[in-house]
Structure 1
Amino acid sequence: MQNTKRFKRLQHTLMLAFLVLSITPLILSALYFLNSHTKDLAEQSISHLASLRDNKQKQLQSFFAAKESEVKSFARSELSNNSGGRFYGLVGAFHQLGNIDSQLDAQGRAHYFNSTLTTKSDQTANSGYLGHERYRLMFKRYNAVYNEYLKRSDFKDIMLVDISGDVVYSVKNHNLFGVNLLAKKTSHSALQQTFKAIKEKTQQSPNNPEQVPVVFTDFSANSHSNETTAWFAAPIIQQGYLHSYVFMELSNQKITELIKDNTKHIQTLLVGTDHKLRFETQPKLPIQLQSQSIDQALAGKSGIGSFINYDNIPVLGAFSPLNILDHHWALVVELPEKEAFARIFELEKIFVAAMVTAIILVIISSHWLSNSITAPLLRLTWAAEKASGGDLEQKIDGTERHDEIGRLAISFARMQRSIREKIGLIRQQNKELEHNLTIIRQQNNELQTADKMKDEFLATTSHELRTPLHGMVGIAESLLAGANGALHQSQRRQLEMIINSGQRLTTLVDDLLDYHKMRYGDLDINHQAVDMSVAIRLVLELSSHLLGNKPIRIINQIPTDLPLVDADEQRLEQVLYNLVGNAIKYTSEGKIILSATILEHQLRIQVVDTGQGIPSEQLEHIFEPLIQANTGSANYRQGAGLGLSISRQLIELMGGRLYVSSQPMVGTTFSFTLNLANANQIAAMAANPNKNHFKAPLLNMANYDASDLPENPDGELLLVVDDEPVNLQILTNFLRLAGYRVQTAESGPQALALITEQQPDLVLLDIMMPEMSGYEVCNKLRKTHSMLALPIIMLSALGQVQDRLKGFECGANDYLTKPFNKEELIARIRAYLQAGKTEIERQKNQALEQEIHRREQVEIGLIETQSRLLGLLDSTNEAIICVQHEGRIRYANSAAGKLFKRTPELLERYTIDDILATPLPAAVADNHHFNGQLSYYIGDHKQQLMTDVINLPIESGLKQMFVFDSQGPSADHRINLLENAIDVLSEFAFNGDKNNLQQLRELGGEFTRLADKLGDGDHNKAEIIRQLLVDAMKATLVFWEQESRKSKFELAEESGLWRVYLDRSTLQTRTLDKYLQLETLPKTPRWRTVINTIDFVLERCPQSNTYRQELVIMRDKLHHIISHN
């Protein structure tokens, strides 16, 4: 029964799922398509009605526009002008009839018109004969024409009305003949309204024959017939003169024919503002029609939708307003909803039938499908239940199937076999697990034993360390006390450092022993009544030496009348000393406040500092052993990280609690609570007052003074940066004894300030320092000093590989781990200093080579300048001697040889002092041009000669020129010409400016010939420019590669002045390479590009050195020569 229930339930579930998955999409899809088709059909009906409405609206508008145009055309036609003329035609003939009112009243208008007026009369003697005859002839002339026009027109009748309102002529309605339309009592209201309107509109219209005003009167019942007609009226104007009016009657039958519907159920309504139809009505229609669509159309709105029509029938209607010649109508096209949605109703019936059929088929299919799935599953379930009962040999049916059921049956069979195998494996693994558990228990016992042995070894080692520490400190204290005689001040300071370092190590050993005892519960606490104020004053007194030179105020707000607390006095002082010491250690400036608060049964002590604070993520770790907050190198402080851990455990052993709160860059607050002492403890304290047991270790290192150590005044200056005074002292001793000058700094900012004042030759830099780490100091120094200019060796206790890598990444030259070997340190310092000296010498030699090369070029230029100057002097008649700066005669012309009776070549072997009989007066050196008598050796005799001494320009390479006049005083004009020629020629020889040659030509005489001769040297000038371009490009490329560490390809790409080519995957700068050799330089080189390249390199490489200076000189010279060429 139970299995059958499960089967039935699964079958029903599957069947329900199949039905939901099948019927739901089917219904949704069918509804979607039904809705879509319904909307389409509705939209088609609506679109059809809208199309009919728009078509009928356009037809009506076109119809009335055509009628209006027809009326205008007729009013301007020859027929209307001839027949409606005021002085001729029918209108003129009517006026000649005279007074015919009595005849009209007696005979009747139609009878008079047909029997009398339009019939030929025999009474020729009658006074009105002529008038009647004239009208008859006019009628006969025009009546046939009017009748023919009406046959072709949609109008029913045409009338002519004179300007007084009298009906002169009517084609069809003769009863209107002679009726005055302005009469007060008239049955022709529509005609009267039309006449007044056309008369008023004609008076208001401009006198323009092209614009004929037309008036339209809405449809109304005709008083002489059962028809509904409307009237058109227009004036007949000739040459700007109003003659009469033409009235044209339009029957509504034309409109009925125009908007008549061919569809049986569609109805079109044309309703005026009086809610009456404007075409022939059906017999069943009411006189006035009222509906929502008609009201909206008359209100000027257009639309389409479902409405209740005038007969309270739901219809689908389309409506819009229709404006015809200032008359407002409503056009409505209606279709009963029953007819409009008939196709939709048929579609819904078909949909319902199809859905019922589909659902029945889906239910039958679902039942069969669910049964085919659940039957084999039921058999598998029975087999699985037997297997779960322990029958693992039960045969599984369905394994022969090739579908998912077959795969499931095979999986059941495999699972059955796997379970048998797993059970056997589990039994085997249980046995192995029991064996492993036994081994784990043994290993745990061994680890616990090893951990205990480690702690015992640590305790034993700490105890053993006390003996040598005690001996070391004791011997140092005895030496300091003068046991071996008086000591020098520097020796006393270094002994004090040894004692302080030993006491620091002793404190660390004590902390390790306390930590070991507390871990194993061996630390004894002596509970007694303790005066908190006394303990705090003692601790503050012992901690005063920790302040050093820090700008810190310690504020003790502990009152003296506090109640006694239950604590171990020695351990309480230890805790207080640790908390106060930490506050001093981590506070650079500010204040430390100690306060107390009495709680219900406890006393709370708070130590508040304004130090750097502790990040929130580190607060939960600071009480763990061997953990320090702010362990970053920039925030490093000495210590082992045991103090807070031991303090918290001591407070807890004394029955209190220690906790902390902190805010970075604001400060830290350590708080602990202790229970108040009971009466017995207070009585015992009064009976046996005890002494303080705790002695503070001396953690402050005395400031060292190395002034007494020997120092080599000629040694290299080394800067040692370390926050430990002991390390500074040790390094100072080592380095001064090695022959170096030493400068020390205790922090990074102090080191940077010292380097700014005086740059050392080498820096020894510690890493773990407060305020600024060694890494940060090195980074800042490398921004302004290269590794060669200022070597940096890092010294640190951090010996990990990542620490060394970080040091080298920051720019350190070397990295040594403390403790280091003295000889190794000195050797490394010596190597880096020697490398720096070698590089400096190399740079000096390179600069010297450049200077030598520059001087050689200048000397070549000077020689060329001298040759040109001397060539000038050969053509002069004066005796001239040119002297170099050392006094040697560089040149003497033939006139000077004759004067001194020696050949010019022989004179050039002497100095000027050899031929002067008396020294040169001081006025020669002070003045540019000296003129006076000087004494010379000529042959074997002395002779006074009038001499002009001219100090030559530096560009000439000569010092002075002596011009002698052996014939008498030289003409001042000649001397001035010669002096000007020398100045001009010197400047041309040095700068190559052609304007100088023009100035030389203006001097006249031989100077003109000399200028022409020098002007022929343009070819040599061009060669000089080409050579200068090549030298400038080479120097630019060398400076770029040396300073930027980049190649010529990067220069070409970054500057954008040269093109870079890719030739067989190799970069090429063909154009730039041509400017590096004189042989490949183009015939017309691009000197502007060369100058722009030099400017680009000078801008990108601002370093100042000899290469840059040389490049600037070349740039200026090249620019000057080319700009003056």
Structure 2
Amino acid sequence: MDMGYSTRLQRRFMWWFFSLSIIPVVILTGYFTWSQSQLLITQAHQQLENERDRYYFTIKEYFHDQVRAVVNLADSDLAISSGGRFYGFPNAFAQLGEDTSQAHRQLMQILQQNAGTHLKTNNQNYHRLYRQFNRQYQSWMARYEFNNVAMFDRSQHLVFAVKATPQLLADTRLHQAVTQLLDAPPEQRPKWVRTHFAPQGSRTMQAWYLAPILKRGQIQSILAVSTTTDNLSAMLRQLQRPHSGLWLIDQSHQSLLSGWVPRSSHAKLAVSPPQAAIIKSLEGQQGVLSPNDYALMPQLTAYRPVSIGNTSWALITCTPKQSAYQPLYRLYSISVTLVIALIVLLLFIGHWLSHRLALPMLQLTWCAEQFAAGELDYPVTHRQRQDEIGRLATALSHLQHRLKTTCFSTSFPSTSEHTPAMQSDSLHHSLVIAMNLALEAWGGDKVGLAEQSGLWRVYSDKGSLQTRTLDKYLHLETVPKTPRWRNVVRSIDFVLQHTDRQSPYYQPLKQAQQEIQHWITDRR
């Protein structure tokens, strides 16, 4: 058999099987991966939106609490008692000096002294009010986490401050807000205003809340409370996920949270707020920007506007692409691993099937070709298999014996024309064919046939059982000159008794037995 042709046929069968098997596997795996990836992308967007909304409500609640605290302070007895224009700080400030400049100098000296130190001033009234109300304002600041409390009279003069700084008198934002409250008509005057946030130091943004101190509908003074974004940043830091960024950006594109809220002092930010998200958020829109929307943005961004009073800010939260789409990348990794494993498995199955099916079929085809060419002694393999290939091999084996029988029966003339030597050879051929058929029908077990039939002697040679007499009748050159044809006929009878009539061996055995009997009858 041509081994090169056999190898090519096996490979061809293996690759056809692999191609027909891997195509539906790849299609199904690709569709499953695509559908699950869309679901995971939607989940990542929803998770970031939920995180953004959690920040949003935290910020809203934080500023609402601040506004509520400032308004309640302006309406409290503490503010009304200390801010009254006739008996509070405004009147005491006017008594500090002969003019405003002298009063300011005296005021700064008082504010920069320790509250417990005896203040040597000409006006003991201010000193009494300062000792009475300063500690109360400090306690209120510590309770609500504000940074400073100041008070202005109706002439826009600073009359009190818990923390006196040079920037306090030079803060134009503060003075503009005071003017706004004083100039507003009573029916249109707001309960509170807030200045815009401005940098204070390297990482802090600071703003002032202002509320009028009213008594019987009349403005007594203006209360100003300072706040920074430090406390807000600390609150948001507890809610923030690692490696994510958070920004609260005003109309001038300045972040109130100093660029981002770090998870720890050693954190490194790998994201930045995209301008498109800032612009859309300041325009009142909300949504999510994915990396597919902007090729140069390696992050997932959620945005929405935050409105506190008359002020609108842009809330931006970002997370790196690798972190946001980590379940998606895990799905891709599993899918690729699964496809590779299936490819290896299909290659193994194809290789096994090529040896299990293609090679036996090729060998049986080659065997049939040899029979067609007249080579009837070519061995037939795979007869022991219990599948269709085994049935085909058995059928070829029967065909081989039929062809041998036909060839032997047609290669000799009738017994009346034989010489004694030719007749003897014809008998020997018939006995060999018949005995081989009987052994084939018995399953090839020579010892079993000899012992169960009792017609042939079994020898023990060096621990193994031998059937030397029976073996002589399996080959033409070893048949005795005077054969024991009766033992052969009886053996055929014994095998026929144990062979089903539907067996492919039954009729050939019957025919072989009749040929031997005819030969013996004609000879007699």
Which residue of the partner structure matches residue 313 of structure 2? Answer: 329
Residues 1:245 and 1:142: Cα distance change in structure 2 (over 3 Å)? same
Which residue of the partner structure matches residue 223 of structure 2? Answer: 246
| Native 8 Å contact 1:292 1:309 kept in 2 | no
**Corresponding residue to 1:205 among 188, 192, 210:** 188
Does 2:286 correspond to 1:302?
Answer: yes
1:149 partner amino acid = W
Looking at structure 2, the residues matched to 272 and 173 of structure 1 have their Cα atoms a distance apart, in angstroms, of 28
Does 2:254 correspond to 1:276?
Answer: yes
Which residue of the partner structure matches residue 267 of structure 1? Answer: 245
Which residue of the partner structure matches residue 476 of structure 2? Answer: none
Residues 85-116 of structure 1: per-residue CA shift (max 9 Å, x gap): 233222343345564324257x4752255569
Looking at structure 2, the residues matched to 356 and 13 of structure 1 have their Cα atoms a distance apart, in angstroms, of 21
| Native 8 Å contact 1:110 1:175 kept in 2 | no
Residues 1:203 and 1:377: Cα distance change in structure 2 (over 3 Å)? same
Residues 1:62 and 1:202: Cα distance change in structure 2 (over 3 Å)? farther
1:58 partner amino acid = F
Q: Which runs of 4+ in 1 moved over 6 A?
A: 3-6, 115-123, 282-285, 386-397, 410-417
**How much does 1:399 deviate?**
5.7
Structure 2 gaps of 5+ residues are 402-524
Does 2:272 correspond to 1:293?
Answer: no
**How much does 1:375 deviate?**
2.9
| Native 8 Å contact 2:96 2:106 kept in 1 | no
| Native 8 Å contact 2:383 2:390 kept in 1 | yes
Does 2:87 correspond to 1:88?
Answer: yes
Which residue of the partner structure matches residue 303 of structure 2? Answer: 319
Range that drifts further, 152-161 or 345-354: 345-354
Does 2:368 correspond to 1:370?
Answer: no
Looking at structure 1, the residues matched to 194 and 368 of structure 2 have their Cα atoms a distance apart, in angstroms, of 100
Does 2:213 correspond to 1:236?
Answer: yes
Looking at structure 1, the residues matched to 301 and 165 of structure 2 have their Cα atoms a distance apart, in angstroms, of 44
Looking at structure 1, the residues matched to 395 and 115 of structure 2 have their Cα atoms a distance apart, in angstroms, of 124
Structure 1 gaps of 5+ residues are 124-128, 180-186, 207-211, 418-1125
Instruction: Compare CA radii of gyration and give the structure with the larger one.
Output: 1
**How much does 1:61 deviate?**
0.6
Looking at structure 2, the residues matched to 315 and 332 of structure 1 have their Cα atoms a distance apart, in angstroms, of 12
Q: How does 1:367-766 map to 2 (within 5 A)?
A: 367-382=351-366, 401-408=385-392
Residues 459-507 of structure 1: per-residue CA shift (max 9 Å, x gap): xxxxxxxxxxxxxxxxxxxxxxxxxxxxxxxxxxxxxxxxxxxxxxxxx
| Native 8 Å contact 1:91 1:168 kept in 2 | yes
- For the residue of structure 1 that corresponds to 2:285, the secondary structure is coil
Does 2:261 correspond to 1:256?
Answer: no
- For the residue of structure 1 that corresponds to 2:252, the secondary structure is coil
Residues 1:250 and 1:296: Cα distance change in structure 2 (over 3 Å)? same
2:362 partner amino acid = L
| Native 8 Å contact 2:83 2:151 kept in 1 | yes
Does 2:172 correspond to 1:189?
Answer: yes
Which residue of the partner structure matches residue 467 of structure 2? Answer: none
Give the number of equivalent residue pairs: 391
Residues 1:116 and 1:55: Cα distance change in structure 2 (over 3 Å)? closer
- For the residue of structure 2 that corresponds to 1:149, the secondary structure is helix
Range that drifts further, 92-101 or 241-250: 92-101
- For the residue of structure 1 that corresponds to 2:197, the secondary structure is strand
Q: How does 1:121-140 map to 2 (within 5 A)?
A: 132-140=123-131
- For the residue of structure 2 that corresponds to 1:218, the secondary structure is coil
2:83 partner amino acid = G
- For the residue of structure 2 that corresponds to 1:260, the secondary structure is helix
Residues 1:300 and 1:385: Cα distance change in structure 2 (over 3 Å)? same
1:248 partner amino acid = V
Does 2:88 correspond to 1:110?
Answer: no
**How much does 1:351 deviate?**
5.3
2:141 partner amino acid = L
Residues 1:116 and 1:255: Cα distance change in structure 2 (over 3 Å)? closer
The structure where helix makes up a greater share of residues is: 2
**How much does 1:264 deviate?**
4.0
| Native 8 Å contact 1:313 1:336 kept in 2 | no
Which residue of the partner structure matches residue 23 of structure 2? Answer: 24
Which residue of the partner structure matches residue 166 of structure 1? Answer: 157
Looking at structure 1, the residues matched to 313 and 349 of structure 2 have their Cα atoms a distance apart, in angstroms, of 64
**How much does 1:170 deviate?**
1.4
**How much does 1:330 deviate?**
1.4
Residues 1:109 and 1:122: Cα distance change in structure 2 (over 3 Å)? closer
| Native 8 Å contact 1:298 1:321 kept in 2 | yes
Which residue of the partner structure matches residue 580 of structure 1? Answer: none
- For the residue of structure 1 that corresponds to 2:191, the secondary structure is coil
**How much does 1:205 deviate?**
3.0
Aligned-pair RMSD on alpha carbons? 4.4
Looking at structure 2, the residues matched to 368 and 337 of structure 1 have their Cα atoms a distance apart, in angstroms, of 44
Residues 1:395 and 1:133: Cα distance change in structure 2 (over 3 Å)? closer
**How much does 1:43 deviate?**
4.8
- For the residue of structure 2 that corresponds to 1:155, the secondary structure is coil
| Native 8 Å contact 1:53 1:333 kept in 2 | yes
Looking at structure 1, the residues matched to 119 and 253 of structure 2 have their Cα atoms a distance apart, in angstroms, of 51
Residues 1:108 and 1:135: Cα distance change in structure 2 (over 3 Å)? closer
Looking at structure 2, the residues matched to 77 and 176 of structure 1 have their Cα atoms a distance apart, in angstroms, of 28
Residues 895-937 of structure 1: per-residue CA shift (max 9 Å, x gap): xxxxxxxxxxxxxxxxxxxxxxxxxxxxxxxxxxxxxxxxxxx
**How much does 1:292 deviate?**
2.6
Looking at structure 2, the residues matched to 379 and 142 of structure 1 have their Cα atoms a distance apart, in angstroms, of 111
- For the residue of structure 1 that corresponds to 2:195, the secondary structure is strand
Residues 1:216 and 1:294: Cα distance change in structure 2 (over 3 Å)? same
- For the residue of structure 1 that corresponds to 2:57, the secondary structure is helix
Looking at structure 2, the residues matched to 80 and 293 of structure 1 have their Cα atoms a distance apart, in angstroms, of 43
1:93 partner amino acid = A
**How much does 1:341 deviate?**
4.3
Looking at structure 2, the residues matched to 294 and 166 of structure 1 have their Cα atoms a distance apart, in angstroms, of 39
- For the residue of structure 1 that corresponds to 2:385, the secondary structure is coil
Looking at structure 1, the residues matched to 394 and 120 of structure 2 have their Cα atoms a distance apart, in angstroms, of 135
**How much does 1:156 deviate?**
0.9
Looking at structure 2, the residues matched to 346 and 380 of structure 1 have their Cα atoms a distance apart, in angstroms, of 50
Which residue of the partner structure matches residue 217 of structure 1? Answer: 195
Q: Structure 1 length normalisation: TM-score?
A: 0.31
- Of all paired residues, the percent bearing the same amino acid is 28
- For the residue of structure 2 that corresponds to 1:365, the secondary structure is helix
**How much does 1:245 deviate?**
1.9
Q: How does 1:44-123 map to 2 (within 5 A)?
A: 45-97=44-96, 99-104=98-103, 107=105, 109-111=107-109, 113-114=111-112
- For the residue of structure 1 that corresponds to 2:196, the secondary structure is strand
Residues 1:339 and 1:121: Cα distance change in structure 2 (over 3 Å)? closer
Residues 1:176 and 1:8: Cα distance change in structure 2 (over 3 Å)? closer
**How much does 1:70 deviate?**
1.2
| Native 8 Å contact 1:292 1:308 kept in 2 | no
| Native 8 Å contact 1:41 1:344 kept in 2 | yes
Residues 1:61 and 1:101: Cα distance change in structure 2 (over 3 Å)? same
| Native 8 Å contact 1:103 1:112 kept in 2 | no
| Native 8 Å contact 1:190 1:217 kept in 2 | yes
Which residue of the partner structure matches residue 941 of structure 1? Answer: none
- For the residue of structure 2 that corresponds to 1:278, the secondary structure is coil
Residues 688-742 of structure 1: per-residue CA shift (max 9 Å, x gap): xxxxxxxxxxxxxxxxxxxxxxxxxxxxxxxxxxxxxxxxxxxxxxxxxxxxxxx
1:203 partner amino acid = P
Residues 859-897 of structure 1: per-residue CA shift (max 9 Å, x gap): xxxxxxxxxxxxxxxxxxxxxxxxxxxxxxxxxxxxxxx
1:236 partner amino acid = I
